[in-house]
Amino acid sequence: MSGIQYVVDEAGNHTAVLIDLKQIGDAWEDIYDILVSAERDDEPTVAWEELKKEIENTK
């Protein structure tokens, strides 16, 4: 894929990825959003009404 380079160690194992943000910056934003969402999977959910009240109380 154009715009992506893999960094490999001495054994040939992929250890990192270099992403050309000028070429695929929009796709990176989507990937980053997915990663952040997955990281928050175990967080408790908050009901919309409760969140709305919390936001109104901070104004």
Other C-beta atoms closer than 10 Å to the C-beta of 3 total: 14
Rounded (5°) CA angle 43-34-26: 145
pLDDT, residue 1, reads 77
Give tens-digit pLDDT for 3-51.
899 999 999 999 999 989 999 888 888 989 999 999 999 999 999 999 9
- The residues, ordered by sequence, that sit 6+ positions from 15 with a Cβ below 8 Å of its Cβ are 7, 8, 9
Q: 0.75 cut: is pTM over it?
A: no
pLDDT computed for residue 42 by the predictor: 92
Interatomic CA distance for residues 38 and 47, integer angstroms = 19
Which one is predicted more confidently, 2 or 47?
47
pLDDT of residue 33: 94
Q: pLDDT band for position 59 (50/70/90)?
A: confident
Is 30 in contact with 38 (CB distance < 8 Å)?
no
